[in-house]
């Protein structure tokens, strides 16, 4: 299947051009081709100067310093060695010039995500690009920071740079771009001047029709299920501090927040992968910090992890063996096949073949297996961490619907997501996580986008 | 009193002598691993350096020429591993193990071919006191040089980048595969000097199994030295001390096998103590595959 | 990610064949021996007479035990480079206990074999424990323990555990009751061979058809996912390394009880290392490993004849073995793990 098929794209200096499409549409591949990292099978790429690319997942070397990352392979020399003084000064000056201040000596892995993005941007800006490609640049920014980010970008455009923003955030496209190109399944399906179109029209073009609706949330009584008091945990660089909250059986609690504000610590502590301090109890009985994932699974806690390829699936194995992972001791060995068949049917896994190797499946189908597994056997609590990350809209709607159905049937769901739209569509209550703490709580009725955005950015 | 001082001096001197081959091997290991390639084949490289230098010295009468050829042999062996690790993306630990087995066998075979007797070569022209001292000093100088190269030069920065995140390095325009290849080969050249020292400085011949697992102890030294040239040198001195201790204690009448096991035991105990508290370069041992 | 089965296995075997005949021929020519003579002597030595075939099967058996152990470790994501040491200590335990404790045959043989299995298992448990508890790199640990094992056995057999009536670095001859019975007269082939075959089948069943095998493979193929699925990686590492060592130890015990009828520190010409090649050529699948063990068994027994008859040093066989290991190192034999 072609990732990108017969695409023409033109970028003009001084213009911000948006490239939109859902996950898997080919946007990132096209950006990589434009950058030169990927060679197209057919067609040409021409640019009137240097092309820079700020990647969606930063290409920064965590254990090196800021200046080493920014000037990698372009280091100022003094004889045979690096002129570290000149290097630091150059990075400092660069930051000043673009209003993206960073400490040149800081080690990248100690920096918060927003600052890391500045480093990534500076690396490209140092090359004085004529064309700058930005792949999902606002994924790690608070709603309030997005405006100032685009102000910076507009400044670059005003200096004559041609800018391409690859995104799926239609509100930003409408607000900040001059032109928009819509991709679907590897091909360009529409081109507009942004002023001539609307978010709804673009959304329809992205999906190729109407977006199906998510399952409805049924009215139901909520009983207490998960209680956290002073709950704290550390997982790598992610830190959760003193969280006090509840999740009821029969409700979906959304955890809104920018990536890097403690979500991983929250998810990993609930999964039993790391220890925690504070009090945590499920249906009245305490959860112990040393139980481990096996203990949590026994208590009926199921986690849909953020990184399915590494944390949820054995890519070399077939669908049958992956479908029982997590319940391999609970289900009799002889019934593995039967269990897998049920899952495939219920979650529309394609191809519906027990022996298909999971590594060969699309992201959406892989995620269906992970979610199907987590929801099997009527779990008490489901922790869904970015459950629709990187999958097509059809699979995403299915996943969200299944989570809502589980909630309707009496499970408690903790939905951790970086996409506010997803949280608003699914959650009964919303908690905002900022800098590791719970910064605010909203019910479905009291949701206020502006307020939530401020809290996410750390402003009270 | 002076007997005690003499005894201590003897142990210290012996420590230096025993540590030197470990230092060379460990430095080679550090360079390789900082670029992202685990070199389990250090033992084989020591063998290659030792055997080749002996044969060439015997043929030419010059230990220096022998040493140079030993370096070339070590580099060639490392190149095999480097090719497998970079172009073929093979499992580096398995490949290194195969290299060790092959090198040991090739040397044993070579002994029979060249000297028509199994087990050991004849004695050959070797380094005298001056040469031996030079090699010892050179080892420490090499450690400092490697430290400067890794931390102060552009190439050193590129090597470190490849060891942490070759994808990011390539995004910056560095050829990660070529950088790794070069680092492994140079590392092999450095490590082989350890074999040269064993064969031509400490002794004057090559015999089957003379490297006795020093290449593996050097790997432990790389870990305890936190993958830095100076740290690995310190760790190598530590292990060399245990080797030296073995000789002294043996003369005190303790069973020789237990004493011989000291350095290896030290390595195992230290592994338990250090493991988990040090971090390897992030991409160490992970083949980089260009997508 | 292991190299996958099917077509790749065929290609890999081709590589093995090319290496064996190609490099072997070059080495023979260097030794002034025609490859025809050299390989002729090798194959004649392996298959010529009934006794020679039996000897080939003996070598096969000696490789099969440690190879199965190494394969189990690999499948669990661990490198057991210490099979040689585990084998030696297993042999020592068998030889020592068998010479000490007089029992009727029906008890003596199992005792001797179990002793070897336990000794090897214990020696494998050490790096397993270090890995489970401290996250210590088992590659270096097993390498170090190899050397320590031989030194330990030598020390014990000559020193505190020396038995009367033994030569240097060996135990006295085992009483007849403790010896494994011969399968073929005038040969060293014993019941060890069928035991090894049964073990291979048992391991395959264990890996593919039990929950234990499922969890072990998950730990090897996707450690992070396995952990989150409730699998205890530390416990798996410990069990896998113990099992691995146990198999190598059992191999040592069968050498002592079957072929040599005594323990000798030189009982293994490096079986623990050649077995790595066997495990890889066999693609870490117990049944294919039987085939691979036979192939290398041919090289081992033929190699002795090749040296005796054609004057080609046996080291050629080890050289080719090492090259085979390099060639079959394959894409990521073991999944990436985060340890030192």
Distance CA B148, CA B66 (A): 28
Answer whether A388's CB lies under 8 Å from A168's CB. Answer: no
Q: Does C277 reach chain B within 8 Å, measured CB to CB?
A: yes
User: Quick check: C3 pLDDT over 70?
Assistant: no
Beta strands at A252-256 and A429-434: parallel, antiparallel or unpaired: parallel
Partner-chain residue, chosen from B152, B173, B281, that has the shortest CB–CB distance to A81? B152
Distance CA C155, CA B142 (A): 39
Q: Which of residues 119-178 of B touch A (CB under 8 A)?
A: 148, 152-154, 157-158, 160-161, 164-165, 167-169, 171-174
Q: Does domain A223-308+378-456 have CATH number 3.30.830.10?
A: no
Verify cis geometry, omega within 30 degrees of 0, for the bond prior to B133.
Answer: no
**Tokens 């290449």 sit on residue:** B215
Mean pLDDT of chain B: 90
Answer whether C142's CB lies under 8 Å from C70's CB. Answer: no
User: Quick check: C6 pLDDT over 50?
Assistant: no
User: Quick check: C262 pLDDT over 50?
Assistant: yes
Partner-chain residue, chosen from A59, A74, A84, that has the shortest CB–CB distance to B168? A59
Selected for mutation to probe chain A from B145, B149, B167, B171 (highest A CB count within 10 Å) is: B171
Nearest in space to A320 (alpha carbons), one of A333, A337, A345, A342: A337
Q: Residue C340: what pLDDT?
A: 31
Q: Which residues contact C92 (CB under 8 A, 6 or more apart)?
A: C119, C153, C156, C157, C171, C252, C263
Nearest in space to A205 (alpha carbons), one of A189, A217, A191, A193: A189
Q: Residue B277: what pLDDT?
A: 65
- The Cα of B57 is separated from the nearest Cα of chain C by a number of Å equal to 21
The verdict on a CB contact (< 8 Å) between C329 and B94 is yes
A223-308+378-456 has the same fold as A16-207: yes
Does residue B266 fall inside a structural domain? no
Distance CA B284, CA C305 (A): 43
Vertex B239: Cα angle to B237 and B244 (nearest 5):
90
The verdict on a CB contact (< 8 Å) between A294 and C226 is no
Total Cβ atoms within 10 A of residue A406: 22
Nearest in space to A94 (alpha carbons), one of A118, A69, A122: A122
* Bigger pLDDT: C41 vs C231: C231
User: Quick check: C325 pLDDT over 70?
Assistant: yes
Q: Does B290 reach chain A within 8 Å, measured CB to CB?
A: no
Q: Residue C293: what pLDDT?
A: 95
pTM: 0.88
Low-confidence ranges of chain A (pLDDT < 70): 1-2, 24, 143-144, 459-460
The verdict on a CB contact (< 8 Å) between B173 and A73 is yes
Nearest in space to C274 (alpha carbons), one of C239, C314, C309, C236: C314
Parse chain A into domains and list their residue ranges.
Answer: 16-207, 223-308+378-456
Q: Which residues contact A125 (CB under 8 A, 6 or more apart)?
A: A52, A94, A98, A100, A132, A156
The verdict on a CB contact (< 8 Å) between A62 and B282 is yes
Q: Which chains touch A (3 or more CB pairs under 8 A)?
A: B, C
For chains A and B, CB pairs below 8 A equal 54
DSSP A3: S
Parse chain C into domains and list their residue ranges.
Answer: 7-327
Helix (H, G, I), strand (E, B) or coil at C189: coil
Does residue B219 fall inside a structural domain? no
- The Cα of A325 is separated from the nearest Cα of chain C by a number of Å equal to 6
ipTM of the complex: 0.88
B259 to chain C: which residues are within 8 Å by CB?
none
How does pLDDT run along chain B (291 residues), one tens digit per residue? 688 888 888 888 999 999 999 999 999 999 999 999 999 999 999 999 999 999 999 999 999 999 999 999 999 999 999 998 898 888 898 899 999 999 999 999 999 989 988 889 888 898 988 999 999 999 999 999 999 999 999 999 999 999 999 999 998 889 999 999 999 999 999 999 999 999 999 888 999 989 988 999 999 899 888 899 999 999 999 999 988 887 777 676 667 778 788 888 888 888 887 766 677 888 888 888 876
Answer whether C103's CB lies under 8 Å from C177's CB. Answer: yes
Number of domains in chain B: 1
Q: Which of residues 64-83 of B touch C (CB under 8 A)?
A: 80-81
Distance CA B267, CA A133 (A): 51
Q: Which chains touch B (3 or more CB pairs under 8 A)?
A: A, C
Take residue B111 and report the two structure tokens written for it: 């002994």
- The Cα of C257 is separated from the nearest Cα of chain A by a number of Å equal to 38
Q: Does B171 reach chain C within 8 Å, measured CB to CB?
A: no
Q: Residue A275: what pLDDT?
A: 94
C327 to chain B: which residues are within 8 Å by CB?
98
% residues pLDDT > 70 (chain C): 94
The verdict on a CB contact (< 8 Å) between A62 and B164 is yes
Q: Does domain A16-207 have CATH number 1.10.10.10?
A: no
Nearest in space to A339 (alpha carbons), one of A322, A363, A357, A314: A322
Q: How confident is the model at residue C326 (pLDDT cuts 50, 70, 90)?
A: confident
Partner-chain residue, chosen from A305, A314, A333, that has the shortest CB–CB distance to C210? A333
Nearest in space to A255 (alpha carbons), one of A20, A460, A8, A440: A440
* Bigger pLDDT: A302 vs C7: A302
Q: Residue A451: what pLDDT?
A: 85
**Tokens 């060249």 sit on residue:** B114
Q: How far is CA C134 from CA A383, B274, B277, C146, C206, in A?
A: 30, 8, 9, 20, 28
pLDDT digits (tens, 9 = 90+) for C73-131: 999 999 999 999 999 999 999 999 988 888 887 888 999 999 999 999 999 999 999 99
Q: Residue A132: what pLDDT?
A: 93
Binding-site residues on chain A for chain B (CB distance < 8 A) = 37, 53, 55, 59-64, 68-69, 72-75, 77, 80-82, 84, 123
Q: Residue A394: what pLDDT?
A: 84
The verdict on a CB contact (< 8 Å) between C137 and B213 is no
Q: Which residues contact C94 (CB under 8 A, 6 or more apart)?
A: C112, C113, C115, C116, C119, C252, C253, C256, C257, C263
User: Quick check: C195 pLDDT over 60?
Assistant: yes
User: Quick check: C339 pLDDT over 70?
Assistant: no
- Tell me, which fold does domain C7-327 have in CATH? ABC transporter involved in vitamin B12 uptake, BtuC (1.10.3470)
Selected for mutation to probe chain B from C328, C329, C339 (highest B CB count within 10 Å) is: C329
Domain that holds residue B102: 20-212
Distance CA B257, CA A197 (A): 84
Nearest-10 Cα torsion for A32, A33, A34, A37: 60
Mean pLDDT of chain C: 88
Q: Does C226 reach chain A within 8 Å, measured CB to CB?
A: yes
The verdict on a CB contact (< 8 Å) between B169 and A72 is yes
User: Quick check: C5 pLDDT over 60?
Assistant: no
Does residue B143 fall inside a structural domain? yes
Q: At what angle do helices C105-134 and C233-254 cross, to 10 degrees?
A: 150
Classify each residue of A89-123 as buried b or exposed e, where b means 16 or more C-beta atoms within 10 Å of its C-beta.
ebbbebbeebebebbbeeebeebeebbbbbbbbbb
DSSP A49: S
């Amino acid at each position: 299947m072609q990732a990108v098929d017969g695409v023409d794209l033109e970028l003009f200096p001084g213009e911000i051009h948006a490239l939109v499409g859902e996950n898997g549409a080919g946007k990132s591949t096209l950006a990589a081709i434009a950058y030169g990292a990927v060679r197209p099978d057919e067609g040409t790429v021409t640019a009137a100067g240097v092309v820079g690319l700020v990647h969606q997942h930063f290409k920064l070397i965590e254990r090196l310093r800021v200046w080493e990352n920014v000037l990698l392979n372009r280091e100022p020399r003094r004889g045979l060695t690096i002129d570290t003084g000149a290097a630091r000064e150059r990075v400092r000056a660069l930051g000043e010039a673009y209003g993206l201040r960073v400490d040149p000596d800081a080690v990248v892995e100690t920096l918060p995500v927003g600052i890391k993005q500045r480093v990534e941007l500076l690396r490209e800006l140092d090359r004085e690009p004529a064309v700058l490609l930005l792949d999902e640049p606002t994924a790690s920014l608070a709603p309030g920071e997005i405006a100032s980010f685009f102000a910076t970008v507009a400044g670059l455009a005003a200096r004559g740079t041609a800018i391409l923003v690859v995104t799926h955030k239609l509100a930003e496209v409408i607000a900040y771009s001059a032109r928009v190109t819509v991709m679907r399944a590897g091909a360009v399906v529409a081109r507009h001047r942004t002023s001539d179109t609307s978010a709804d029209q673009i959304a329809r073009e992205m999906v190729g029709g109407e977006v199906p609706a998510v399952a409805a949330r049924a009215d139901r009584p909520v009983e207490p299920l998960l209680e956290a008091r002073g709950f704290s945990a550390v997982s790598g660089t992610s830190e959760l501090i003193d969280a006090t909250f509840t999740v009821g059986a029969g409700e979906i609690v959304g955890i809104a927040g920018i990536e890097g504000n403690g979500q991983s610590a929250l998810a990993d502590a609930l999964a039993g992968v790391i220890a925690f301090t504070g009090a945590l109890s499920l249906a009245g009985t305490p959860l112990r910090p040393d139980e481990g994932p096996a203990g949590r699974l026994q208590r009926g806690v199921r986690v849909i992890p953020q990184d399915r390829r590494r944390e949820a699936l054995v890519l070399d194995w077939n669908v049958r063996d992956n479908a029982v992972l997590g319940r391999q001791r609970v289900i009799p060995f002889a019934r593995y096949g039967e269990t897998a068949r049920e899952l495939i049917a219920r979650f529309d896994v394609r191809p519906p073949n027990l022996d298909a190797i999971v590594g060969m499946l699309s992201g959406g189908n892989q995620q269906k297996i992970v979610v199907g597994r987590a929801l099997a056997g009527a779990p008490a609590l489901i922790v869904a961490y970015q459950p629709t990350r990187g999958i097509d809209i059809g699979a995403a709607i299915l996943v969200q619907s299944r989570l809502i159905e589980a909630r309707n049937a009496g499970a408690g769901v903790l939905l951790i997501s970086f996409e506010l739209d997803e949280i608003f569509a699914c959650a009964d209550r919303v908690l905002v996580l900022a800098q590791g703490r719970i910064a605010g709580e909203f019910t479905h009725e009291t949701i206020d986008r502006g307020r939530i955005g401020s809290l996410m950015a750390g402003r009270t | 009193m002076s007997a005690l001082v003499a005894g201590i001096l003897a142990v210290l001197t012996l420590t230096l002598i025993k540590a030197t081959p470990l230092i060379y091997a460990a430095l080679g290991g550090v360079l390789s691993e900082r670029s992202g390639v685990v070199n389990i084949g250090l033992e084989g490289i020591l063998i290659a350096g030792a055997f080749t230098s002996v044969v060439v010295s015997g043929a030419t009468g010059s230990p220096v020429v022998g040493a140079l050829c030993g370096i070339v042999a070590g580099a060639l062996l490392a190149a095999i591993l480097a090719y497998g690790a970079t172009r073929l993306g093979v499992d580096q630990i398995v490949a290194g193990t195969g290299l060790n087995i092959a090198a040991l066998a090739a040397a044993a075979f070579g002994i029979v071919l060249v000297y028509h007797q199994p087990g050991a070569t004849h004695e050959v022209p070797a380094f005298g006191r001056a040469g031996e001292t030079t090699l010892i000093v050179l080892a420490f100088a090499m450690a400092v040089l490697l430290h400067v190269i890794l931390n102060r030069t552009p190439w050193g920065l590129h090597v470190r980048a490849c060891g942490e995140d070759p994808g990011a390095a390539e995004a910056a325009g560095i050829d990660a595969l070529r950088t790794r290849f070069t680092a492994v080969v140079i590392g092999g050249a450095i490590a082989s000097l350890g074999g040269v020292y064993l064969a031509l400085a400490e002794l004057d011949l090559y015999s089957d199994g003379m490297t006795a697992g020093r290449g593996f102890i050097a790997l432990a030294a790389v870990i305890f030295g936190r993958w830095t040239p100076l740290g690995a040198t310190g760790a190598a001195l530590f292990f060399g001390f245990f080797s030296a201790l073995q000789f002294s204690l043996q003369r005190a009448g303790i069973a020789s096998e237990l004493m011989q096991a000291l350095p290896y035991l030290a390595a195992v105990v230290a592994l338990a103590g250090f493991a988990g508290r040090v971090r390897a370069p992030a991409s160490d041992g992970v083949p980089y595959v260009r997508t | 990610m292991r190299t996958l089965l099917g077509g790749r296995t065929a290609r890999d075997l081709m590589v093995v064949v090319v290496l064996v005949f190609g490099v072997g021929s070059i080495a023979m020519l260097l030794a002034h021996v025609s490859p025809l003579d050299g390989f002729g002597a090798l194959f004649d030595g392996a298959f010529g007479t009934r006794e020679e075939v039996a000897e080939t099967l003996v070598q096969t058996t000696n490789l099969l035990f440690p190879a199965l152990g190494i394969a189990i470790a690999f499948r669990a994501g661990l490198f057991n480079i210490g099979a040689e040491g585990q084998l030696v200590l297993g042999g020592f335990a068998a030889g020592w206990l068998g010479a000490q404790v007089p029992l009727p045959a029906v008890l003596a043989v199992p005792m001797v074999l179990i002793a070897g299995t336990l000794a090897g298992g214990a020696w494998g448990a050490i790096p397993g424990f270090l890995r489970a508890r401290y996250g210590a790199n088992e590659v270096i640990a097993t390498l170090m323990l190899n050397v320590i094992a031989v030194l330990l056995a030598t020390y014990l057999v000559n020193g505190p555990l020396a038995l009367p009536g033994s030569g240097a670095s060996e135990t006295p001859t085992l009483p007849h009751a403790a010896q494994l019975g011969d399968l073929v007269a005038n040969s060293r082939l014993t019941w060890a061979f069928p035991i090894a075959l049964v073990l291979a089948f048992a391991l395959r069943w264990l890996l593919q058809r039990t929950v234990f095998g499922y969890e072990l493979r998950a730990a090897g193929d996707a450690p992070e996912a396995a952990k989150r699925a409730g699998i205890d990686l530390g416990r798996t590492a410990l069990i896998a390394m113990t099992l691995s060592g146990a198999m190598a130890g059992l191999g040592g015990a069968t050498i002592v009880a079957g072929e040599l009828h005594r323990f000798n520190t030189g009982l293994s010409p490096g079986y623990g290392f050649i077995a790595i090649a066997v495990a890889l050529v066999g693609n870490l699948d117990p049944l294919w490993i039987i085939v691979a063990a036979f192939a290398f068994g041919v090289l081992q027994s033929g190699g002795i004849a090749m040296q005796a008859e054609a004057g080609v040093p046996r080291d050629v066989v080890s050289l080719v073995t090492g090259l085979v290991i390099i060639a079959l190192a394959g894409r990521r034999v073991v999944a990436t793990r985060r340890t030192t």
